[in-house]
Amino acid sequence: MATAIGFLILSLSYLSLSHGLVKPRRISHGLSESGKYLTRDELWFNQTLDHFSPYDHRRFRQRYYEYLDHLRVPDGPIFLMICGEGPCNGIPNDYISVLAKKFEAGVVSLEHRYYGKSSPFNSLATENLKYLSSKQALSDLAAFRGYYQESLNVKFNRTGKVDDNPWFFFGASYSGALSAWFRLKFPHLTCGSLASSAVVRAVYEFPEFDQQIGESAGPECKAALQETNKLVELALKVNNKALKALFNATELDVDGDFLYFVADAQVMAFQYGNPDKLCVPMVEAKKNGGDLVEAYAKYVREYCFGVFGLSAKTYSRKHLLDTAITPESSDRLWWFQVCTEVAYFQVAPANDSIRSHQVNTEYHLDLCKSLFGKGVYPEVDATNLYYGGDRIAGTKIIFTNGSQDPWRHASKQTSSPDLPSYIVKCHNCGHGSDLRGCPQSPLIIEGDSKNCSSPDAVNKVRQHIVEHIDLWLSECRGVLRSSI
């Protein structure tokens, strides 16, 4: 979802890196029936609760998945797909599955602490969230990587001093940032990382987000959305309940929350590769003198609710204050990370804004205080000091962004040999389009690029990704062998 940010097909020749001592074999589990997941079989790992205390030895159960159908046993690569700010219900069958087949890799995926079924506590009260942070999550990944490598050695009867399998990390959106940060902080544990739509720069006030929506919409659609916003603000004053009922959002008692919801709904069209679902009816309504608010509400009801699965409840303070663990707890959890580490406050720009000016810094700070109490504040400067923001100084990290995605302005968009960065340019290329194809949601099997307005643009970036992975896995193998 947009509030949570959240949130690869060209083939190159690949030379097998097998030692040649063991005949390659594979382990087969088969695809899940729906085809949308490579596997949904849950596995569990006992994770350390606090990686930074020498005195706290508490542990919790963390969910993970493995898919080894394509793995060249015993020494093929391991691709780790990082789960981000939501439940991890399996390994999705996106473009990473294509890469796994190409590189004869196994795929594992670890659920982020606190999300889904990986909660350390029975309550999400603020005092229990102190261990929810990107730093702890990165250490989770490092600990899991060590555990899983050892389990592979046992599974394949490898004893004595043996090489690790070469690992490569993947993530999109917040998990894309985790992928980049993992390579930065633990370069000895992964051969490289793909950071798709990776929001590596924490941003206190983020007006560029709204500005990108206007740019992606184009002049006609932007004008229609701006006029709609003014009419919505007026209707809130004149007939508050009737307006919220039109949007199926009567539970949003706080007008600021409703206006945030209205702004977020338009974001989804551009972020997830369906701009025409919004702009075509809005431009048509404006040209024909139609009811813009009704046209927009219809888009929200039919697309955001009906197709995407959005709910106004997501924006309800009553819901966000709920400390019980439910399938929808990720809403509260992500706001905690927003309110403590990264902010990304999507404020209205001073001029030419599409969203309401009531969605400002004060609105966000008040929300944080309402949800988590006094003293909770996003330490944006500390986050960027620790990771480097968009000046991250790591190596062997691929950054990719969709041209229409507003989140790209929190990513790294400048390229260098050690940190290549690519913009996937097309009309419906949004959040994670290199991995997910078009539209980016709902899931497209294997991230097929055929429905992107320019499949060639997506495929060209994917070709670069394959080249980098191929090179970095080869270099990693060389380092591993020379260390014996």
Tens digits of per-residue pLDDT, 288-331? 999 999 999 999 999 999 999 999 999 999 999 999 999 999 99
Contact predicate 375/283, CB 8 Å: no
Q: Which two tokens stand for residue 42?
A: 């849950």
Among the listed residues 144, 182, 146, the one whose alpha carbon sits nearest the alpha carbon of residue 47: 144
| pLDDT the model gives residue 14 | 22
| pLDDT the model gives residue 484 | 47
Task: Select the more confidently predicted residue: 461 or 477.
Answer: 461
Integer Cα distance of 49 and 120 in angstroms: 7
Residue 431 among the catalytic residues? yes
What percentage of the chain reaches a pLDDT higher than 90?
89
Q: Which of 405, 411, 434, 441 is catalytic?
A: 405
Q: What is the mean pLDDT of residues 76-85?
A: 98
Q: Which of 179, 210, 431, 433 is catalytic?
A: 431
Q: What is the mean pLDDT of residues 209-238?
A: 98
Whether residue 21 has pLDDT greater than 70: no
Per-residue pLDDT of 443-475, as tens digits, reads 899 999 999 999 999 999 999 999 999 999 999
Residue 173 among the catalytic residues? yes
Q: Which of 97, 118, 173, 441 is catalytic?
A: 173
Task: Select the more confidently predicted residue: 33 or 15.
Answer: 33
Task: Select the more confidently predicted residue: 442 or 149.
Answer: 149
Whether residue 30 has pLDDT greater than 50: no
Whether residue 479 has pLDDT greater than 80: no
Contact predicate 229/213, CB 8 Å: no
Integer Cα distance of 327 and 230 in angstroms: 35
Domain ranges of the chain: 37-201+391-482, 204-379
Say which residue the tokens 């307006």 belong to. 243
All residues at 6 or more sequence positions from 448 whose CB lies less than 8 Å from its CB, including other chains = 9, 437
DSSP code string of 457-477: HHHHHHHHHHHHHHHHHHHHH
Task: Select the more confidently predicted residue: 135 or 442.
Answer: 135
| pLDDT the model gives residue 32 | 54
Per-residue pLDDT of 343-382, as tens digits, reads 999 999 999 999 999 999 999 999 999 999 999 999 999 9
| pLDDT the model gives residue 62 | 98
Strands (E), 280-380: 343-345
Q: What is the mean pLDDT of residues 54-60?
A: 97
Radius of gyration of the chain from Cα atoms?
A: 23
Q: What is the pLDDT confidence band of residue 482, given thresholds at 50, 70 and 90? A: low
Other CB atoms within a 10 A radius of the CB of residue 9 amount to 19
**Range 37-201+391-482 has CATH code 3.40.50.970:** no
Integer Cα distance of 253 and 376 in angstroms: 23
Q: What is the mean pLDDT of residues 42-52?
A: 98
Residue 421 among the catalytic residues? no
Whether residue 19 has pLDDT greater than 50: no
Q: What is the pLDDT confidence band of residue 483, given thresholds at 50, 70 and 90? A: low
| pLDDT the model gives residue 336 | 98
Whether residue 27 has pLDDT greater than 80: no
Say which residue the tokens 């599409």 belong to. 354
Q: What is the pLDDT confidence band of residue 403, given thresholds at 50, 70 and 90? A: very high
- Within 13 A of 128's CA, how many CA atoms are on the CB side? 14
Q: What is the mean pLDDT of residues 412-433?
A: 97
Q: Which segment of 17-31, 295-309, 357-371, 419-433 scores lowest on mean pLDDT?
A: 17-31
Among the listed residues 30, 91, 34, 95, the one whose alpha carbon sits nearest the alpha carbon of residue 64: 91
Integer Cα distance of 315 and 360 in angstroms: 16
Q: What is the mean pLDDT of residues 410-432?
A: 97
| pLDDT the model gives residue 28 | 37
Q: What is the mean pLDDT of residues 228-239?
A: 98
Q: What is the pLDDT confidence band of residue 160, given thresholds at 50, 70 and 90? A: confident
Q: What is the pLDDT confidence band of residue 17, given thresholds at 50, 70 and 90? A: very low
pTM: 0.93
Integer Cα distance of 383 and 340 in angstroms: 10
What are the C-alpha distances in Å from 352 to residues 62, 228, 349, 356? 46, 14, 7, 11
